[in-house]
Amino acid sequence: MIQAVIIEDEKPAARRLQRMLQKENIQTNILLHSVQESVEWFNSNVAPDLIFADIHLSDGSAFEIFEKTNLQSPVIFTTAYDQYAIKAFKLNSIDYLLKPVRQEELHRALQKFLQQKLVLPDIKQLLSDLHTRVAYKERFLVQYGNRFQSLDVTDIALFYSQDKTTYLVNRTGEEFIYDKSLEYLEKQLNPKDFFRLNRQFIIRYSAIDKMLGYSNSRIKVILKKPYRKEIIVARERVKKFKNWLQ
């Protein structure tokens, strides 16, 4: 039986993947939840046949684990990352599972592993490729009346959706209709600078004024003037939001 290790900071997601792997006759008794825990475990245990690794962990990136250990095990990444990064992974012959993981996609990834015997890539080269290939949108064209204006991404404070219309808000508080969805924008914006708080808002880090505790362990984000908006972070995004702030 194939012995696998799961690296995933969200314990419910790790247990779910463990159950899915059991259906594929893959044994996963080891669940690791952070960079530090993973480094310590791999440095004192026999390497598994296969590793499933979430990319973004609570204390850093999964790439740090491979940089700090001498692992040679094949790895399949799990990620909620945007499509450009996914393309970079594929170009480096790394398989990936886009969250939420689906059983049929897991099965295909395992078949690829069994047939091709994936090997751990050169992590430094992968990071270099990611830096080179991930190209985020730098300008946004908006229209008001019969005039067009091109806004640099650095001039944008937030995007929000209301009544099936997307709005772009610049640093001075001016609002413009933008003809793309928030789902589209998530893939175009650099995740270091922008975060989607809920179904309605994507904000820039520099637009945040205050953050307050809210009911049911949620967070209320208060934006700086002149935006004058108070936004509740969706419960399922609170943990990722905290990680994004670090």
CATH number at residue 187: 2.40.50.1020
Return the pLDDT at 84. 42
Confidence grade of residue 73 (pLDDT, cut at 50, 70, 90) = confident
Confidence grade of residue 129 (pLDDT, cut at 50, 70, 90) = low
Confidence grade of residue 91 (pLDDT, cut at 50, 70, 90) = very low
Among the candidates 89, 105, 133, a domain finishes at 133
In a shared domain, residues 159 and 225: yes
Among the candidates 109, 133, 157, a domain finishes at 133
Answer yes or no: is pLDDT of 123 > 80.
no
**Model pLDDT for residues 149-195, shown as the tens digit of each residue:** 899 999 999 999 999 899 999 999 999 999 899 998 988 888 889 99
Give backbone dihedrals phi and psi of 157, rounded to 5 degrees, phi first: -95, -40
Q: Residue length, the chain? A: 246
Looking at the structure of the chain, the number of domains it has is 2
Buried b vs exposed e over 159-175: b needs ≥16 C-beta within 10 Å? bbbeeeebebbbbeeee
- CATH of residue 105's domain is 3.40.50.2300
In a shared domain, residues 129 and 143: no
Range scoring the smallest mean pLDDT among 47-56, 125-134, 135-144, 168-177: 125-134
DSSP code string of 120-173: ---HHHHHHHHHHH-----EEEEEETTEEEEEEGGGEEEEEEETTEEEEEETTS
In a shared domain, residues 162 and 124: no
Q: What CA–CA distance (Å, rounded) separates 154 from 137?
A: 11
Range scoring the smallest mean pLDDT among 6-10, 48-52, 92-96, 119-123: 119-123
Q: What CA–CA distance (Å, rounded) separates 234 from 212?
A: 14
Selected residue with higher pLDDT from 70 and 88: 70
Q: What's the half-sphere exposure (Cβ side, CA atoms, 13 Å) at 149?
A: 16
In a shared domain, residues 196 and 88: no
Q: What CA–CA distance (Å, rounded) separates 132 from 161?
A: 31
In terms of residue numbers, what domain contains 35?
2-133
In a shared domain, residues 77 and 16: yes
Confidence grade of residue 127 (pLDDT, cut at 50, 70, 90) = low
**Model pLDDT for residues 15-36, shown as the tens digit of each residue:** 999 999 999 999 899 999 999 9
Q: What CA–CA distance (Å, rounded) separates 131 from 192?
A: 13
Q: What CA–CA distance (Å, rounded) separates 69 from 44?
A: 10
Return the pLDDT at 147. 86
What average pLDDT score do residues 108-130 get?
Answer: 66
Return the pLDDT at 92. 42
DSSP code string of 184-196: HHHHHS-TTTEEE
How much is the mean pLDDT over the chain?
84
In a shared domain, residues 53 and 75: yes
